[in-house]
Amino acid sequence: MPKKVLLTGGAGFIGSHTYVELVKAGFDVVILDNFSNARPDVIDRLEVITGAPVACYTGDVLDGTLLDQIFTEHKIEAAVHFAALKAVGESAEIPLDYMNTNIAGLYSLLRTMERGGCTRLVFSSSATVYGQPDQLPVTETAPLSYTNPYGFTKLACEQSLEQIAASNDKWAFGILRYFNPAGAHETALIGEDPNDIPNNLMPYIAKVATGDLAELSVFGNDYDTQDGTGVRDYIHVSDLARGHVLSLNALLETDESHTVNLGTGTGYSVLDMLHAYKKAAGHPLPHKFAPRRAGDVASVYADPSLARDLLGFEAELGLDDMCVSSWNWVSRRKNT
Ligand code: WQD
C-alpha cells in the first residue's frame, strides 16, 4: 500500500517538482495550496506529467479545520512543508505576515499532525540561515544567523523543530537547506512562474530572454570573485525535488532527524549564468552593470557532502541543464 504524503504548497515551484518525483517514487500524494503564488492550471499540468488525477485541496496551512479534514479523509504518514512566503525584500516590509504564515503556519501543521498521529516532516529551509557565511564551502555546522525577517522565520522554524524532536523521540524531521533553486521540469510543463517582477536571478534572466523585461541589472561587478560578479550555488529544481524524496525515505526508514544542505558544491557567477542562458536561448541577453544590492555577499556555495553521506543525495544536473530547461519552460509558456 503506497504511503500517503501531504505536500503543503505543493502547487508552487519546488512543491510541484517534488510532487512529480514523489509520485515517480511510488508515494500517494495529496496537495494543499492556497494558490497565492501558483497558477491553478499547474494541477492540470501535473496530471499530464504523472498520467493520473491529482488530489488537491485549496486552502491555507493556517486553517486548522481544513487540515483536520485532510487528515480525516486521508491516512497521512508524512508531510513535506513548502507553504511559506519567501521574498527576502518583501519580508522586511511585512514581517508580521511572514512570521504568521511561516512560523504559525508550521505550528498549525504540526498540531494537526500530532492529532493525526503523523510524526514525519520534511521542512523547506534555506541557506539564508547562514546569514553572511565567513567560510566557504558552507557546512551545516556553520554559524546560523539571519539578515532579514524571512531568514529569521526559517531559523525560528528550524529551531522549533529541533526543540520538538528533542522533547519526544516519536518525531523525526528532515530540514533541507536549499541553496539557489533554478531550472524547470524536462517536459517544460512546470517551472518557476513568478506573479510579478522576479527578485531572483534566473527567473529575471528568463523574462529578459522572452522579452518580457528589457535588460538585466547585474548587481555589482566589483566583488572579490573571478569576474567581479556574485557567485552562488545553483541547483536544478529536479535535483532538489529528488533530495526531498531521499529525505522522506530516510525519515520513514529510521527514527533519525537530519539537517542537510541541498546544493551542488559548485559556484557560478552572474556572468556565468548570463553566458549559459544566452547559449540556451540562442540570442544575446541585454544587461548592464549596476550598484551592488544591499545585503548581498560576494560568494556562497555549499559543502554538499553531508546530504551525500546521510541520504545518498548528489546533484546530477549542471548549469546548462538549468538554463536549457528554464528556456524551454518560459518559451513554451509564452507561446501557449
Ligand atoms: C543571485 C545572484 C545577485 C538578481 C535569494 C534569497 C535566498 C533564497 C534564494 C529563498 C546575486 C545577482 C540577482 C538580479 C543580479 N531564497 N542578481 N540581478 O540572493 O543568492 O538568494 O534567493 O530561500 O533566501 O536570499 O539569490 O537569485 O536573488 O541572486 O545581479 O536582478 O544574482 O546579486 O549575486 P540570492 P538571487
How much is the average pLDDT of 310-318?
98
> What is the residue-wise DSSP string for 161-189?
HHHHHHH-TT-EEEEEEE-EEE-B-TTSS
* Cα-to-centroid distance, 201 and ligand 1 (Å): 6
pLDDT in tens, 95-126: 999 999 999 999 999 999 999 999 999 999 99
Q: In which element (H, E) is residue 29 found?
A: strand 28-33
- Pocket test of ligand 1: the residue of 199, 201, 271 to mutate, having most ligand atoms within 8 Å of its CB, is 201
The band of 336, judged by pLDDT with boundaries at 50, 70 and 90, is confident
ipTM for the assembly: 0.98
Q: In which element (H, E) is residue 33 found?
A: strand 28-33
Cβ(45)–Cβ(19) below 8 Å: no
* Cα-to-centroid distance, 113 and ligand 1 (Å): 33
What is the spatial distance between Cα 68 and Cα 65, in angstroms, rounded to a whole number?
Answer: 5
* Cα-to-centroid distance, 143 and ligand 1 (Å): 20
Residues flanking ligand 1, CB < 6 Å: 86, 88, 126, 128, 178, 180, 199-201, 204, 216-219, 230, 232, 270, 293, 296
User: Which is the closest atom of ligand 1 to the Cα of 151?
Assistant: 24
- Pocket test of ligand 1: the residue of 85, 155, 270 to mutate, having most ligand atoms within 8 Å of its CB, is 270
What is the spatial distance between Cα 241 and Cα 17, in angstroms, rounded to a whole number?
Answer: 6
pLDDT value for 27: 98
Q: How many CB atoms are located within 10 Å of the residue 125 CB?
A: 23
pLDDT value for 194: 85
User: Is a pLDDT exceeding 90 seen at residue 196?
Assistant: no
Q: Which of 4, 2, 18 is nearest to 240 (CA)?
A: 18
Mean pLDDT of the chain: 97
- Nearest protein Cα to ligand 1, atom 7: 128
* Cα-to-centroid distance, 200 and ligand 1 (Å): 5
pLDDT value for 306: 98
pLDDT in tens, 31-76: 999 999 999 999 999 999 999 999 999 999 999 999 999 999 999 9
pLDDT in tens, 1-27: 899 999 999 999 999 999 999 999 999
User: What's at 268, amino acid-wise?
Assistant: Y
pLDDT value for 142: 98
Which cell numbers in the block locate residue 119? 510524526
pLDDT value for 303: 98
| Residues identified as active-site | 150
* Cα-to-centroid distance, 199 and ligand 1 (Å): 7
pLDDT value for 1: 87
* Percent share of the chain, pLDDT over 90: 97
User: Which is the closest atom of ligand 1 to the Cα of 216?
Assistant: 31
- Nearest protein Cα to ligand 1, atom 17: 201
pLDDT in tens, 259-278: 999 999 999 999 999 999 99
User: Is a pLDDT exceeding 90 seen at residue 255?
Assistant: no
pLDDT value for 133: 94
